[in-house]
Amino acid sequence: MEKKDRIKLKGLVTVPGIAVGLAIAAVYLVLTLLIPSQVRMTQGHLTNARLYPYFVCICAMLLALGFALTFRKNEFTFDLGIWPMVLASLMLYFGTKTLGFYTSSVIVIAYMMLMWNNRCWWKILLTSVLTPVSIYLAFTVGMRIFMPTGILI
Amino acid sequence: MASFLLIVQSTFTLKILLLILAGSLFGMIVGAIPGLNTTLAVAIAIPITFYLEPVEALALLSAVYKNGIYGGSVSAVLLGVPGTPAAACTVRDGYAMAKKGQAKKALDAALYASVFADVVGNTILILTASWLAQFALKFGPSENTLLVVFALVVVSLVGSSSLLKGLLASIIGLSLAMLGMDPMTGSPRFTFGNINMLSGVTLIPTLVGMFALSEIFVEYSNFCHAKAEGKSVDVPQDKKSRLSLKEFFSYWRTLIRSSLIGVFIGALPGSGPSTASFISYSMAQRSSKHPEEFGEGSVEGICASEAANNGVCGAAYIPLLTLGIPGDTITAIMYGALVLQGITPGPLVFTQQGDMITGLYVTLFICSIFMLVLGKILCRTLTNVLNVPKGILFPVIMIICFAGSYSMNNTMYDVLVMIIAGVLGYIYKRIDMPIAPTLIGFILGSQMERSLLQSLIKSENNLSIFVGSPIAIAFVIIIVLMVGSNFWKLMKAKKQK
């Protein structure tokens, strides 16, 4: 148990505030540089279409630099150990595109429950089957919203 | 009068009553579960509103909102863990009473105070909203621009530990609103050649991702590092020790004062039930005849905390409906729900959607009645719900979030937006950046851009338009004072160090 916890605690990454601020500033610097190619000038319009994007991007850049300076000594901890949950959401996204929503949600619920340390097979089976069935009843039968069915067609 | 009665009659349909019942149950259950909050409950409920009439949608969301805030007090009393941040003060006295075997009395006090404040909040909303809306009709483009700036500054100041973080969060919201189409010329902007990006970043999936999905990530992180406490729930055994109405109303001064604090704070953009609850609790303690009982199991303390946090609910609609400015994250989600219905919140709603407004007022009172009835019936049942393991709850929530986001436009693009927003929300929580300013900046971004450019066109690029009317000057002075006083405080604190 202790070994397992140690492995999980390794997922914690500490990032200094200055790096977070500079990263945000860099994103807005890129966006500012992209404005000429991404925002088309409209002929005959009274105001410059690029004015507002420049205003927002430059303000954001300045504030991000302010953040970097103000919180340069702070340290922010990110937990990379959340990857199973991010993976679950991506599995559901790509799974829906290929297998369909209902099939992939059965798999994803079972996977997530295992990740949350559920080992009771009947609970896993019941939850992973009942949830998609309830979604089908509420969304498709009740509200006429058709989720991608994929291989179930 | 006849038309009013007609609207009231049309509001009492079986469908609306069932929606309020479902919303109340859902809100109460989610609010009661520590780790899940009311914002998440409202975000999950929002896809359903797409298929409802505006009044029905607002009835459902209001029921979730009000009962979610109340639900937080159940776990605060029984577990000593606030179900929602707004119930943090309730823990002090509620849990102390539960340990003394007076859990039922504490739950009754929380319920009655919540319902009382709720009714006060609804009444003040009805009395003030149309008057404020008439005033807001005088706003031109420059006043609207300054109003948005004012709202963003207030949200940044109040909702965040640092003004800088709040302002950065606001501007990130404004930049998210910038993606997609230029609202003035209709030409594509930052679409990177992707046809889906023409519609910009979609609101509801962003809300669901930033609140619900990010919460799953945070909870999983807590679970991995064993931060979540596994307390067992004590079912109240003292059925007979109920709170009598006579004893409850003996705290009438605290109830009225706390309700009014809740209403005042709810009407301000940016501040939410948690702020109201803390202010009200400390004021009640200072003015109480028995301040020594606070924290040891005082009914008055529970009343102060719960009346304030539920007083916020009705009042939070005031800036939303009259100015089109969502006051907090929950009303921001409601803003999204109204936009989904094709209704733009703002002063014109009162003239264009008068029936909806009257219907909303009626449903708010019905929600209060449902809260009272369900709170009385369900307080024992809710204790069982508190035992549902998160390992079952969160996988189900993820699937609901996914289905809800997809159902907005039947596109997988919205699901991708939700996942990205979820990761972004997680990063926000880790760097202690407030989500509310981003959300409100995102919602008000296009309004800000449109009114800013309209002002510049109208004044032929003359910036003096922003001090060209008494309302505009007042806004400028307030904004400068707020930001200036914050900087002054910071400088003073630095000098003292």
- Report chain A residues whose CB lies below 8 A from the CB of B184: 45, 47, 49
Which of A41-45, A56-60, B149-153, B288-292 is predicted most confidently?
Answer: A56-60
Q: Answer yes or no: do A84 and B220 touch at CB < 8 A.
A: yes
* Single-letter code of the amino acid located at B88: A
- Report chain B residues whose CB lies below 8 A from the CB of A131: 395-396, 399
Assess B187–A contact: CB distance below 8 Å, yes or no.
yes
- CA B318 from centroid of its chain's CA atoms: 12
> Are residue A148 and residue A97 in the same domain, yes or no?
yes
Q: At A68, is the pLDDT very low, low, confident or very high (cuts 50, 70, 90)?
A: very high
Would you tell me which residues 394-453 of chain B have a C-beta closer than 8 angstroms to some C-beta of chain A? 394-396, 398-400, 402-403, 406-407, 410, 412, 415-416, 419, 422-423, 426-427, 430-432, 449, 452-453
Q: Which of A31, A39, A85, A115 to mutate to test the interface with B (most CBs of B within 10 A)?
A: A85
Chain B residue closest in CA terms to A63: B168
For tokens 């009805």, the residue is B126
> Comparing C-alpha atoms, which of B215, B218, B221 is closest to residue A12?
B221
* A77 DSSP β-pair partners: A14
> What is the nearest CA distance from B292 to chain A, expressed in angstroms?
39
First to last CA, chain B: 63
> Comparing C-alpha atoms, which of B296, B245, B277, B257 is closest to residue B83?
B277
End-of-domain residue from the set A24, A42, A73 = A73
> Comparing C-alpha atoms, which of B277, B273, B303 is closest to residue B290?
B303
- CB count within 10 Å of CB B241 equals 16
> Are residue A67 and residue A105 in the same domain, yes or no?
no
Q: At A66, is the pLDDT very low, low, confident or very high (cuts 50, 70, 90)?
A: very high
Check: CB of residue B71 under 8 Å from CB of residue B27: yes
| C-alpha dihedral, B19 to B24 to B29 to B31, nearest 10° | 120
Residue A29 is predicted with a pLDDT of 95
Give the burial class of B102: count Cβ atoms within 10 A of its Cβ; 0-12 exposed, 13-18 middle, 19 or more buried.
buried
- Report chain A residues whose CB lies below 8 A from the CB of B430: 76-79
- Report chain A residues whose CB lies below 8 A from the CB of B419: 86, 89-90, 93
What interhelical angle do B329-340 and B435-458 show, nearest 10? 60
- Report chain A residues whose CB lies below 8 A from the CB of B403: 101, 135, 139, 145, 147
- Report chain A residues whose CB lies below 8 A from the CB of B452: 52
Assess A9–B contact: CB distance below 8 Å, yes or no.
yes
Q: Is the pLDDT confidence value at A27 over 90?
A: yes
> Are residue A45 and residue A62 in the same domain, yes or no?
yes
Assess A47–B contact: CB distance below 8 Å, yes or no.
yes
DSSP summary character for residue B328? S
Average pLDDT estimate for A35-46? 73
Q: Which of A13, A86, A98 to mutate to test the interface with B (most CBs of B within 10 A)?
A: A86
- Pick A113 or B203 by higher pLDDT: A113
Assess A33–B contact: CB distance below 8 Å, yes or no.
no
- The residues, any chain, with a CB within 8 Å of residue B212's CB and separated by 6 or more, are B40, B43, B44, B397, B401, B422
Q: Answer yes or no: do B396 and A51 touch at CB < 8 A.
A: no
Chain A residue closest in CA terms to B51: A143
Q: Answer yes or no: do B407 and A9 touch at CB < 8 A.
A: no
> Are residue A36 and residue A93 in the same domain, yes or no?
no
> Are residue A7 and residue A68 in the same domain, yes or no?
yes
* B181 DSSP β-pair partners: B188
Distance CA B357, CA B253 (A): 31
Q: Answer yes or no: do A143 and B410 touch at CB < 8 A.
A: no
Distance CA A28, CA B175 (A): 9
Check: CB of residue B259 under 8 Å from CB of residue B311: yes
- Report chain A residues whose CB lies below 8 A from the CB of B208: none
Which helix (DSSP H) or strand (DSSP E) does residue A12 occupy?
strand A12-16
Closest residue to B178, CB basis, from A53, A118, A147:
A53
> Are residue A93 and residue A139 in the same domain, yes or no?
yes
> What is the nearest CA distance from A42 to chain B, expressed in angstroms?
7
> Are residue A91 and residue A145 in the same domain, yes or no?
yes
> Are residue A43 and residue A98 in the same domain, yes or no?
no
Which region among A14-23, A108-117, B121-130, B342-351 has the lowest average model confidence (pLDDT)?
B342-351
Distance CA B424, CA B395 (A): 20
- The residues, any chain, with a CB within 8 Å of residue B122's CB and separated by 6 or more, are B314, B361, B364, B365, B368
> Are residue A93 and residue A63 in the same domain, yes or no?
no
The average confidence (pLDDT) of chain A is: 86
Residue A95 is predicted with a pLDDT of 93
- Report chain B residues whose CB lies below 8 A from the CB of A40: 187-189
Mark out the alpha helices in B33-102 (DSSP H runs).
38-49, 54-78, 88-99
Closest residue to A49, CB basis, from B171, B185, B412:
B185
> Are residue A60 and residue A9 in the same domain, yes or no?
yes
Assess A86–B contact: CB distance below 8 Å, yes or no.
yes
ipTM field: 0.90
- Report chain A residues whose CB lies below 8 A from the CB of B399: 92, 105, 108-109, 131-132, 135
Give mean pLDDT in consecutive 10-residue pieces for chain B, a chain of 497 residues.
Answer: 67 86 89 76 83 88 89 80 73 82 86 92 88 81 88 78 89 92 82 86 85 87 69 51 82 90 79 76 83 85 89 86 81 84 84 84 90 84 74 88 85 92 92 86 87 86 86 91 87 81
Mark out the alpha helices in chain A (DSSP H runs).
2-9, 17-38, 51-70, 83-98, 101-115, 121-135
> Comparing C-alpha atoms, which of B166, B83, B216 is closest to residue B431?
B166
Domains in chain A: how many in total?
A: 2
> Are residue A145 and residue A86 in the same domain, yes or no?
yes
B461: left (phi over 0), alpha (psi -120 to 50) or beta: left
Check: CB of residue B32 under 8 Å from CB of residue B72: yes
Q: Is the pLDDT confidence value at A1 over 80?
A: no
Residue A13 is predicted with a pLDDT of 85
End-of-domain residue from the set A14, A41, A73 = A73
**Can you give the residue range of the structural domain that contains A58?**
2-73
> Are residue A142 and residue A96 in the same domain, yes or no?
yes
Q: At A62, is the pLDDT very low, low, confident or very high (cuts 50, 70, 90)?
A: very high
Residue B271 is predicted with a pLDDT of 63
Tokens of A89: 């959401």
Tokens of B198: 């023409």
Distance CA A62, CA A29 (A): 10
Q: Answer yes or no: do A39 and B453 touch at CB < 8 A.
A: no
- Pick A124 or B154 by higher pLDDT: A124
End-of-domain residue from the set A54, A73, A92 = A73
- CB count within 10 Å of CB A66 equals 16
Establish, for the pair of chains A and B, how many residue pairs have beta carbons separated by less than 8 Å.
Answer: 183
- Report chain A residues whose CB lies below 8 A from the CB of B191: 38
| C-alpha dihedral, B284 to B287 to B293 to B294, nearest 10° | 30
Chain A residue closest in CA terms to B401: A89
Q: Is the pLDDT confidence value at A45 over 70?
A: no
Q: At A44, is the pLDDT very low, low, confident or very high (cuts 50, 70, 90)?
A: low
Assess A85–B contact: CB distance below 8 Å, yes or no.
yes
Tokens of B209: 């991702």
- Report chain B residues whose CB lies below 8 A from the CB of A78: 427, 430
Residue B83 is predicted with a pLDDT of 66
- Report chain B residues whose CB lies below 8 A from the CB of A62: none
Residue B418 is predicted with a pLDDT of 92
Check: CB of residue B421 under 8 Å from CB of residue B438: no
Closest residue to B190, CB basis, from A38, A77, A146:
A38
Q: What is the CA radius of gyration of chain A?
A: 23
Assess B224–A contact: CB distance below 8 Å, yes or no.
yes
- The residues, any chain, with a CB within 8 Å of residue B108's CB and separated by 6 or more, are B242, B243, B248
Residue B230 is predicted with a pLDDT of 47
- Report chain B residues whose CB lies below 8 A from the CB of A94: none
* B189 DSSP β-pair partners: A39, B180
Which helix (DSSP H) or strand (DSSP E) does residue A78 occupy?
strand A75-79
> What is the nearest CA distance from B143 to chain A, expressed in angstroms?
18
Q: Is the pLDDT confidence value at A31 over 90?
A: yes
Check: CB of residue B19 under 8 Å from CB of residue B56: yes
- Pick B32 or A3 by higher pLDDT: B32
Q: Answer yes or no: do A31 and B400 touch at CB < 8 A.
A: no
Q: At A6, is the pLDDT very low, low, confident or very high (cuts 50, 70, 90)?
A: very low
Tokens of B221: 């992180």
